Chains A and B, each alone.
Chain A
Amino acid sequence: MASMEGEMLKGHLDMIVLAALSAGPAHGYAVIEEIKRRSGQAFDLPEGTIYPALHRLEQARLLTSRWVTAESGRQRRVYALTRRGESALAEQRAVWRQFSDAIGGLLAGVRPSRRPA
Protein backbone atom coordinates (compact mmCIF):
# COMPACT_ATOMS: atom_id res chain seq x y z
CA MET A 1 0.00 0.00 0.00
CA ALA A 2 1.46 3.36 -0.99
CA SER A 3 2.32 5.86 1.73
CA MET A 4 -0.65 8.20 2.22
CA GLU A 5 -0.33 11.91 1.55
CA GLY A 6 -0.09 14.28 4.52
CA GLU A 7 -3.11 16.24 3.33
CA MET A 8 -5.28 13.11 3.53
CA LEU A 9 -4.21 12.50 7.10
CA LYS A 10 -4.47 16.09 8.26
CA GLY A 11 -8.14 15.95 9.17
CA HIS A 12 -7.83 12.60 10.91
CA LEU A 13 -4.64 13.05 12.88
CA ASP A 14 -6.41 13.40 16.23
CA MET A 15 -8.38 10.20 15.67
CA ILE A 16 -5.23 8.37 14.55
CA VAL A 17 -3.31 9.45 17.66
CA LEU A 18 -6.20 8.54 19.97
CA ALA A 19 -6.51 5.14 18.28
CA ALA A 20 -2.77 4.50 18.67
CA LEU A 21 -3.04 5.27 22.38
CA SER A 22 -6.07 3.02 22.85
CA ALA A 23 -3.64 0.10 23.25
CA GLY A 24 -2.22 1.72 26.39
CA PRO A 25 -0.01 4.58 27.60
CA ALA A 26 2.93 5.38 25.32
CA HIS A 27 5.54 8.05 24.62
CA GLY A 28 5.67 9.97 21.32
CA TYR A 29 8.07 7.63 19.55
CA ALA A 30 6.03 4.57 20.54
CA VAL A 31 2.84 6.30 19.34
CA ILE A 32 4.41 6.80 15.91
CA GLU A 33 5.63 3.22 15.79
CA GLU A 34 2.15 2.00 16.76
CA ILE A 35 0.58 4.13 14.01
CA LYS A 36 2.99 2.69 11.44
CA ARG A 37 2.46 -0.86 12.64
CA ARG A 38 -1.32 -0.72 12.78
CA SER A 39 -1.60 1.06 9.45
CA GLY A 40 0.70 -1.42 7.73
CA GLN A 41 3.29 1.39 7.22
CA ALA A 42 0.70 3.36 5.19
CA PHE A 43 0.75 6.35 7.54
CA ASP A 44 4.30 7.56 7.29
CA LEU A 45 3.88 11.04 8.80
CA PRO A 46 6.68 13.55 9.41
CA GLU A 47 7.25 12.33 12.96
CA GLY A 48 7.41 15.80 14.48
CA THR A 49 3.79 16.53 13.60
CA ILE A 50 2.63 14.03 16.23
CA TYR A 51 3.87 16.18 19.11
CA PRO A 52 1.74 19.28 18.51
CA ALA A 53 -1.21 16.89 18.16
CA LEU A 54 -0.36 15.19 21.47
CA HIS A 55 -0.11 18.56 23.23
CA ARG A 56 -3.35 19.76 21.65
CA LEU A 57 -5.20 16.59 22.71
CA GLU A 58 -3.86 16.96 26.22
CA GLN A 59 -5.06 20.55 26.28
CA ALA A 60 -8.50 19.27 25.26
CA ARG A 61 -8.27 16.80 28.20
CA LEU A 62 -8.53 13.84 25.88
CA LEU A 63 -5.05 12.76 26.99
CA THR A 64 -3.06 13.02 30.14
CA SER A 65 0.73 12.87 30.41
CA ARG A 66 3.46 12.30 32.95
CA TRP A 67 7.23 12.35 32.88
CA VAL A 68 9.01 9.10 33.67
CA THR A 69 12.63 8.01 33.60
CA ALA A 70 13.30 5.54 30.80
CA GLU A 71 15.70 2.59 31.09
CA SER A 72 18.23 4.69 29.18
CA GLY A 73 18.07 7.24 32.01
CA ARG A 74 16.45 9.87 29.77
CA GLN A 75 13.35 11.76 30.81
CA ARG A 76 10.36 10.58 28.80
CA ARG A 77 6.85 11.93 28.52
CA VAL A 78 4.22 9.21 28.49
CA TYR A 79 0.68 9.91 27.28
CA ALA A 80 -2.51 8.04 28.12
CA LEU A 81 -6.12 8.32 27.07
CA THR A 82 -8.49 9.88 29.57
CA ARG A 83 -12.13 8.76 29.86
CA ARG A 84 -13.04 11.75 27.81
CA GLY A 85 -10.50 10.63 25.21
CA GLU A 86 -11.97 7.12 25.14
CA SER A 87 -15.44 8.56 24.56
CA ALA A 88 -14.15 10.89 21.84
CA LEU A 89 -12.42 7.95 20.13
CA ALA A 90 -15.57 5.81 20.28
CA GLU A 91 -17.57 8.66 18.80
CA GLN A 92 -15.05 9.30 16.03
CA ARG A 93 -14.85 5.59 15.30
CA ALA A 94 -18.63 5.38 14.82
CA VAL A 95 -18.65 8.45 12.55
CA TRP A 96 -15.73 7.05 10.56
CA ARG A 97 -17.43 3.66 10.06
CA GLN A 98 -20.56 5.36 8.80
CA PHE A 99 -18.52 7.53 6.45
CA SER A 100 -16.40 4.61 5.31
CA ASP A 101 -19.50 2.47 4.59
CA ALA A 102 -21.02 5.32 2.61
CA ILE A 103 -17.87 5.94 0.55
CA GLY A 104 -17.31 2.21 0.09
CA GLY A 105 -20.84 1.80 -1.20
CA LEU A 106 -20.50 4.82 -3.44
CA LEU A 107 -17.25 3.62 -4.99
CA ALA A 108 -18.56 0.09 -5.41
CA GLY A 109 -21.70 1.46 -7.06
CA VAL A 110 -24.10 -0.09 -4.55
CA ARG A 111 -26.28 1.44 -1.85
CA PRO A 112 -24.70 1.38 1.59
CA SER A 113 -26.68 -0.69 4.09
CA ARG A 114 -28.92 1.52 6.22
CA ARG A 115 -28.62 1.29 9.94
CA PRO A 116 -31.82 0.45 11.77
CA ALA A 117 -33.37 3.52 13.40
Chain B
Amino acid sequence: MISAYLEALASALSFDRSLSQCVRREVEDHLREAVAADPEGDGPEAERRAVAKFGDPRLIAAQFAAVSLARQTRNVGAAVILVIAGVFVAMKARLAWYAVAQCVLRDEMRAVSELVVSVDRYAFWLSIAVGITCWAYISSRRTPATFHSSYRRELHRFFLLCVIATGALITSVASDGVLTALRLFEAESPFDFLIPIFSMAIEVAGAAVLVAHIRTVTRRTASTAALLGTRAGLPL
Protein backbone atom coordinates (compact mmCIF):
# COMPACT_ATOMS: atom_id res chain seq x y z
CA MET B 1 0.00 0.00 0.00
CA ILE B 2 2.74 2.45 0.99
CA SER B 3 4.85 1.52 -2.04
CA ALA B 4 1.90 2.06 -4.39
CA TYR B 5 1.19 5.42 -2.77
CA LEU B 6 4.84 6.48 -3.08
CA GLU B 7 4.81 5.46 -6.74
CA ALA B 8 1.69 7.55 -7.34
CA LEU B 9 3.22 10.54 -5.57
CA ALA B 10 6.55 10.22 -7.43
CA SER B 11 4.65 9.96 -10.70
CA ALA B 12 2.58 13.06 -9.90
CA LEU B 13 5.84 14.88 -9.12
CA SER B 14 7.52 13.75 -12.35
CA PHE B 15 7.73 17.39 -13.53
CA ASP B 16 10.74 17.80 -11.19
CA ARG B 17 12.83 14.66 -10.90
CA SER B 18 15.12 15.72 -8.04
CA LEU B 19 12.18 17.05 -6.03
CA SER B 20 10.29 13.83 -6.73
CA GLN B 21 13.12 11.66 -5.34
CA CYS B 22 13.60 13.87 -2.31
CA VAL B 23 9.88 14.02 -1.46
CA ARG B 24 9.52 10.29 -1.96
CA ARG B 25 12.23 9.56 0.61
CA GLU B 26 10.77 12.06 3.04
CA VAL B 27 7.20 10.78 2.69
CA GLU B 28 8.28 7.16 2.99
CA ASP B 29 9.85 7.93 6.36
CA HIS B 30 6.66 9.71 7.40
CA LEU B 31 4.35 6.87 6.40
CA ARG B 32 6.52 4.14 7.97
CA GLU B 33 6.65 6.13 11.19
CA ALA B 34 2.88 6.66 11.13
CA VAL B 35 2.36 2.91 10.71
CA ALA B 36 4.77 2.11 13.53
CA ALA B 37 2.96 4.58 15.80
CA ASP B 38 -0.51 3.27 14.94
CA PRO B 39 -2.06 2.02 18.23
CA GLU B 40 -4.06 -0.64 16.37
CA GLY B 41 -1.04 -2.46 14.96
CA ASP B 42 1.17 -2.21 11.93
CA GLY B 43 -0.61 -4.34 9.33
CA PRO B 44 -2.13 -3.38 5.98
CA GLU B 45 -4.97 -1.54 7.75
CA ALA B 46 -2.48 0.70 9.52
CA GLU B 47 -0.81 1.40 6.16
CA ARG B 48 -4.20 2.25 4.65
CA ARG B 49 -4.94 4.67 7.50
CA ALA B 50 -1.51 6.31 7.20
CA VAL B 51 -1.97 6.81 3.46
CA ALA B 52 -5.52 8.12 3.89
CA LYS B 53 -4.36 10.66 6.50
CA PHE B 54 -1.57 11.81 4.24
CA GLY B 55 -3.92 12.98 1.51
CA ASP B 56 -4.42 12.88 -2.24
CA PRO B 57 -1.01 12.58 -4.00
CA ARG B 58 -2.20 14.75 -6.91
CA LEU B 59 -3.15 17.54 -4.52
CA ILE B 60 0.21 17.34 -2.73
CA ALA B 61 2.01 17.31 -6.10
CA ALA B 62 0.06 20.41 -7.14
CA GLN B 63 1.25 22.24 -4.02
CA PHE B 64 4.82 21.15 -4.70
CA ALA B 65 4.46 22.37 -8.28
CA ALA B 66 4.11 25.92 -6.97
CA VAL B 67 7.24 25.47 -4.78
CA SER B 68 9.18 23.96 -7.69
CA LEU B 69 8.10 26.74 -10.05
CA ALA B 70 9.20 29.41 -7.56
CA ARG B 71 12.64 27.78 -7.35
CA GLN B 72 12.93 27.59 -11.12
CA THR B 73 11.98 31.21 -11.64
CA ARG B 74 14.67 32.21 -9.14
CA ASN B 75 17.14 30.09 -11.08
CA VAL B 76 16.15 31.95 -14.25
CA GLY B 77 16.79 35.26 -12.46
CA ALA B 78 20.25 34.04 -11.47
CA ALA B 79 20.86 32.64 -15.00
CA VAL B 80 20.14 36.06 -16.53
CA ILE B 81 22.88 37.61 -14.39
CA LEU B 82 25.36 34.77 -15.01
CA VAL B 83 24.86 34.80 -18.79
CA ILE B 84 25.25 38.58 -18.96
CA ALA B 85 28.46 38.27 -16.91
CA GLY B 86 29.66 35.47 -19.23
CA VAL B 87 28.99 37.56 -22.33
CA PHE B 88 30.85 40.47 -20.75
CA VAL B 89 33.91 38.31 -20.03
CA ALA B 90 33.88 36.86 -23.57
CA MET B 91 33.58 40.35 -25.04
CA LYS B 92 36.49 41.67 -22.96
CA ALA B 93 38.63 38.62 -23.82
CA ARG B 94 38.04 39.25 -27.53
CA LEU B 95 38.94 42.93 -27.24
CA ALA B 96 42.11 41.99 -25.33
CA TRP B 97 42.96 39.55 -28.11
CA TYR B 98 42.51 42.26 -30.76
CA ALA B 99 44.91 44.47 -28.80
CA VAL B 100 47.50 41.69 -28.51
CA ALA B 101 47.13 40.64 -32.14
CA GLN B 102 47.12 44.31 -33.22
CA CYS B 103 44.03 43.67 -35.27
CA VAL B 104 42.77 47.01 -36.58
CA LEU B 105 39.84 47.98 -38.75
CA ARG B 106 40.13 49.40 -42.23
CA ASP B 107 39.18 53.08 -42.45
CA GLU B 108 36.15 52.40 -44.69
CA MET B 109 34.76 50.06 -42.03
CA ARG B 110 35.06 52.58 -39.19
CA ALA B 111 31.76 54.41 -39.75
CA VAL B 112 29.78 51.17 -39.76
CA SER B 113 31.76 49.91 -36.80
CA GLU B 114 31.08 53.01 -34.71
CA LEU B 115 27.36 52.71 -35.32
CA VAL B 116 27.34 49.03 -34.38
CA VAL B 117 29.48 49.70 -31.29
CA SER B 118 26.90 52.26 -30.11
CA VAL B 119 24.06 49.79 -30.58
CA ASP B 120 26.11 47.12 -28.84
CA ARG B 121 26.96 49.35 -25.88
CA TYR B 122 23.41 50.60 -25.26
CA ALA B 123 21.90 47.14 -25.72
CA PHE B 124 24.40 45.63 -23.31
CA TRP B 125 23.87 48.28 -20.62
CA LEU B 126 20.12 47.86 -21.01
CA SER B 127 20.47 44.11 -20.54
CA ILE B 128 22.56 44.65 -17.39
CA ALA B 129 20.10 47.15 -15.89
CA VAL B 130 17.01 45.08 -16.67
CA GLY B 131 18.77 41.81 -15.80
CA ILE B 132 19.67 43.07 -12.32
CA THR B 133 16.12 44.40 -11.85
CA CYS B 134 14.77 41.04 -12.98
CA TRP B 135 16.94 39.09 -10.52
CA ALA B 136 16.26 41.49 -7.63
CA TYR B 137 12.52 41.38 -8.34
CA ILE B 138 12.18 37.60 -8.29
CA SER B 139 14.57 37.20 -5.33
CA SER B 140 12.44 39.54 -3.24
CA ARG B 141 9.20 37.60 -3.90
CA ARG B 142 8.14 35.08 -1.31
CA THR B 143 6.86 31.72 -2.50
CA PRO B 144 3.11 31.81 -1.92
CA ALA B 145 1.15 28.93 -0.41
CA THR B 146 -1.20 29.02 -3.39
CA PHE B 147 -0.84 29.99 -7.03
CA HIS B 148 -3.12 33.00 -6.68
CA SER B 149 -3.73 35.72 -9.26
CA SER B 150 -1.37 38.29 -7.68
CA TYR B 151 1.48 35.76 -7.83
CA ARG B 152 0.66 35.10 -11.47
CA ARG B 153 0.88 38.83 -12.11
CA GLU B 154 4.26 38.93 -10.38
CA LEU B 155 5.48 36.08 -12.58
CA HIS B 156 4.12 37.85 -15.64
CA ARG B 157 6.14 40.98 -14.73
CA PHE B 158 9.21 38.86 -14.08
CA PHE B 159 8.98 37.13 -17.47
CA LEU B 160 8.47 40.48 -19.16
CA LEU B 161 11.67 41.76 -17.54
CA CYS B 162 13.46 38.54 -18.58
CA VAL B 163 12.33 38.97 -22.18
CA ILE B 164 13.51 42.60 -22.27
CA ALA B 165 16.89 41.71 -20.72
CA THR B 166 17.34 38.74 -23.06
CA GLY B 167 16.21 40.72 -26.11
CA ALA B 168 18.75 43.45 -25.29
CA LEU B 169 21.43 40.81 -24.73
CA ILE B 170 20.67 39.14 -28.08
CA THR B 171 20.95 42.55 -29.78
CA SER B 172 24.29 43.05 -28.09
CA VAL B 173 25.51 39.57 -29.11
CA ALA B 174 24.34 40.14 -32.71
CA SER B 175 26.22 43.47 -32.74
CA ASP B 176 29.29 41.68 -31.42
CA GLY B 177 28.88 39.20 -34.28
CA VAL B 178 28.84 42.01 -36.83
CA LEU B 179 31.88 43.68 -35.25
CA THR B 180 33.74 40.37 -35.13
CA ALA B 181 32.94 39.74 -38.80
CA LEU B 182 34.25 43.20 -39.73
CA ARG B 183 37.49 42.49 -37.88
CA LEU B 184 37.88 39.03 -39.36
CA PHE B 185 37.93 40.46 -42.89
CA GLU B 186 41.30 41.86 -41.86
CA ALA B 187 42.61 38.64 -40.34
CA GLU B 188 45.74 37.36 -42.01
CA SER B 189 46.11 33.87 -40.59
CA PRO B 190 43.53 31.28 -39.44
CA PHE B 191 45.08 31.53 -35.98
CA ASP B 192 43.73 35.10 -35.72
CA PHE B 193 40.19 33.72 -36.04
CA LEU B 194 40.34 31.32 -33.11
CA ILE B 195 39.83 33.54 -30.07
CA PRO B 196 37.20 35.83 -31.67
CA ILE B 197 35.18 32.89 -32.97
CA PHE B 198 35.49 31.00 -29.69
CA SER B 199 34.39 34.03 -27.67
CA MET B 200 31.48 34.60 -30.08
CA ALA B 201 30.47 30.96 -29.68
CA ILE B 202 30.37 31.48 -25.90
CA GLU B 203 28.17 34.55 -26.29
CA VAL B 204 25.77 32.84 -28.70
CA ALA B 205 25.60 29.70 -26.55
CA GLY B 206 24.91 31.78 -23.42
CA ALA B 207 22.09 33.67 -25.10
CA ALA B 208 20.64 30.43 -26.51
CA VAL B 209 20.74 28.73 -23.10
CA LEU B 210 18.98 31.71 -21.56
CA VAL B 211 16.23 31.71 -24.19
CA ALA B 212 15.73 27.95 -23.73
CA HIS B 213 15.67 28.31 -19.94
CA ILE B 214 13.08 31.10 -20.02
CA ARG B 215 10.97 29.17 -22.52
CA THR B 216 11.00 26.05 -20.33
CA VAL B 217 9.98 27.96 -17.22
CA THR B 218 7.21 29.90 -18.98
CA ARG B 219 5.82 26.55 -20.18
CA ARG B 220 6.12 25.18 -16.67
CA THR B 221 4.23 28.20 -15.37
CA ALA B 222 1.38 27.48 -17.77
CA SER B 223 1.29 23.79 -16.84
CA THR B 224 1.44 24.60 -13.11
CA ALA B 225 -1.42 27.07 -13.49
CA ALA B 226 -3.42 24.38 -15.29
CA LEU B 227 -2.51 21.76 -12.67
CA LEU B 228 -3.50 24.00 -9.77
CA GLY B 229 -6.59 25.16 -11.59
CA THR B 230 -7.88 21.60 -11.76
CA ARG B 231 -7.19 21.13 -8.06
CA ALA B 232 -8.82 24.39 -7.00
CA GLY B 233 -11.80 22.64 -5.51
CA LEU B 234 -9.76 20.48 -3.18
CA PRO B 235 -9.14 21.52 0.44
CA LEU B 236 -5.81 23.17 1.33
Using CB atoms and an 8 Å cutoff, list the residues of chain A in contact with chain B: 5-7, 9-11, 13-14, 27-29, 45-49, 51-53, 55-56, 59-60, 70, 72, 74-77
Number of interface residues of B (CB under 8 A): 31
A30 to B124, CA, bound (A): 52
- Establish whether residues A55 and B236, one from each chain, have CB atoms under 8 Å apart when the complex forms: no
**A-B interface contact total, Cβ < 8 Å:** 87
Q: A45 contacts B26, CB within 8 Å? A: no
A76 CA / B29 CA spacing, docked (Å): 6
- By Cβ-Cβ distance, the 3 closest A-B pairs, closest first, are A46-B55, A52-B63, A6-B235
B71 at the binding interface (Cβ < 8 Å): yes
| Cβ contacts under 8 Å, B23 to chain A | 51
Closest to A67 in B: B25
Can you list 25 A-B pairs, Cβ within 8 angstroms, ordered by A? A11-B145, A13-B145, A14-B145, A28-B29, A28-B30, A29-B29, A29-B33, A46-B236, A47-B34, A47-B54, A48-B27, A48-B54, A48-B55, A48-B59, A49-B55, A49-B59, A49-B63, A51-B26, A51-B64, A52-B66, A56-B67, A70-B29, A72-B33, A72-B36, A74-B28
Within 8 A of A (CB), among B186-236: 235-236
* A47 lies within 8 A of B53 (CB): yes
* Cα–Cα, bound, A5→B235 (Å): 9
A9 contacts B236, C-beta separation under 8 Å: yes
| B142 is an interface residue with CB less than 8 A from chain A | yes
Given A6-B235, A59-B70, residue A53 in contact with residue B26 (CB < 8 A): no
Beyond A10-B146, A11-B145, 15 additional pairs, beta carbon < 8 A: A13-B236, A27-B30, A28-B26, A46-B56, A46-B236, A47-B30, A48-B27, A48-B57, A48-B59, A52-B60, A52-B66, A56-B70, A59-B143, A74-B32, A76-B29
Known interface pairs A51-B60, A52-B66, A56-B67; A46-B235 also in contact (CB < 8 Å):
yes
Q: Is the interface of A mostly helix, strand, loop or mixed?
A: helix
Closest B residue to A60 using CB positions? B142
Q: Which residues of B contact A (CB under 8 A)?
A: 22-23, 25-30, 32-34, 36, 53-57, 59-60, 63-64, 66-67, 70-71, 142-143, 145-146, 235-236
- Give Cα distance in the complex from A62 to B214, angstroms: 27
Contact of B34 among A5, A6, A29, A75 (CB under 8 A): A29
Neighbouring B residues of A14 by C-beta, 8 Å: 145
Which of chain B's residues have a CB closer than 8 A to the CB of A5?
235
The residue of chain A having its C-beta at the shortest distance from the C-beta of B143 within the complex is: A56
Central interface residue in B59, B67, B146, by most chain A CB within 10 Å: B67
- A20 vs chain B, min Cβ distance (A): 15
Do A53 and B145 contact each other (CB < 8 Å), given the known contacts A6-B235, A29-B30, A72-B32? yes
**For B53, what are the chain A residues with a Cβ–Cβ distance below 8 Å?**
46-47
Q: How far is the CA of A29 from the CA of B36 in the complex (A)?
A: 12
A60 in contact with B27 given A29-B33, A29-B34 (CB within 8 Å): no
Asked if A77 contacts B26 (CB within 8 A), the reply is: yes
Give the chain B neighbours of A47 by CB distance below 8 A: 30, 34, 53-55
User: Which chain A residues lie closer than 8 Å to B33 at the CB level?
Assistant: 29, 72
CB distance from B220 to the nearest CB of A (A): 16
Residue in B22, B28, B30, B60 whose Cβ sees the most chain A Cβ within 10 Å: B30
Q: Whole-angstrom distance between the alpha carbons of A11 and B34 in the complex?
A: 26
